[in-house]
Amino acid sequence: MSKLGRGLDALIDSGPEAIDKTTGITTVKVAFIKPNRFQPRKVFKEDKLRELAKSLQENGLIQPIIVTKKDRSEYELIAGERRLEAARIAGFDEIPVIIRSVSPREQLQFAIIENIQREDLNAIEEAIAFHQLSEDFGLTHSQISEIIGKERTTISNSIRLLKLNENIKQMVLDGKLSSGHARAILQIDEKLQEEFANYIVENSLSVRKAESDAKRIRETGSVQKINEEITENSKIYHLEERLNNIFKVKVRISGKNNKGKITFFYSSKEEFDQLLSGFEKK
């Protein structure tokens, strides 16, 4: 397996190399460090960055970031973007770094590994990163799986999310939809996907409910019919509650196509007498 398979630790050796001034820990001016052009994460939480910046001001930057040298005075980030951004916010002039020589593919791979290990990427950012490894660097899904440490099917299913339209992908980026919701949306016809995405958000559906509704949409070919069913089910539920309160026994209403039945349940003579009493009062 590639050295990359061991994650970020592969960049930080504990042997003699760590004391070599060209590859060990040194300090670099923050202004000379460019962001990682292959950074897969697109959304940064400002409040979390400011919390980290405050911590850095109080305790300093204990863990160095990892960079690669581009020319005499310029460096490009490999790993540690949150720490770099927080250091900028905290007003640091210089920060400790470890300098490594890596390829563009390795830069992307280490950025993905760092974020995944910290669970910082959302589903779309992760999918874009995996797709880039596949399309730009020619890795198969199995090879990505081995490097990242996830199942091959997970990689393939992740990349499939990029088939969603831009509006739906933005909902995922904004945290309105989870990866589970996005996979449920992919199960239905493309022309209904955005309507279904909005329906999920508006009704705060769980992933399980979204999957169940996706199945009904495939059967009916309509998101609107699901809405109508919800409205009808809500009416039935409230009617059942009213009948429960009136007759003091369990009541269930079932039906289809304007036909159905109302069932009263009792489990003792007392409950049966209560039921009769309720009818007599009516």
Task: Please check whether residue 182 is in contact with residue 158, taking contact to mean a CB–CB distance below 8 angstroms.
Answer: no
The burial class, CB within 10 Å (0-12 / 13-18 / 19+), for 9 is exposed
CA 48 to chain centre: 17
Number of Cβ atoms within 10 Å of the Cβ of 280: 7
Of the residues 17, 51, 58, 81, only one is catalytic, namely 81
Torsion of CA 195, 201, 205, 210, to 10 degrees: 30
| Residue found by looking up tokens 């493309």 in the block | 190
Tokens of 211: 């999957």
Question: What's the CA gap between 112 and 114, in Å, rounded?
Answer: 5
Tokens of 269: 């003579």
> Residue 81 catalytic?
yes
- What positions carry a catalytic annotation? 81
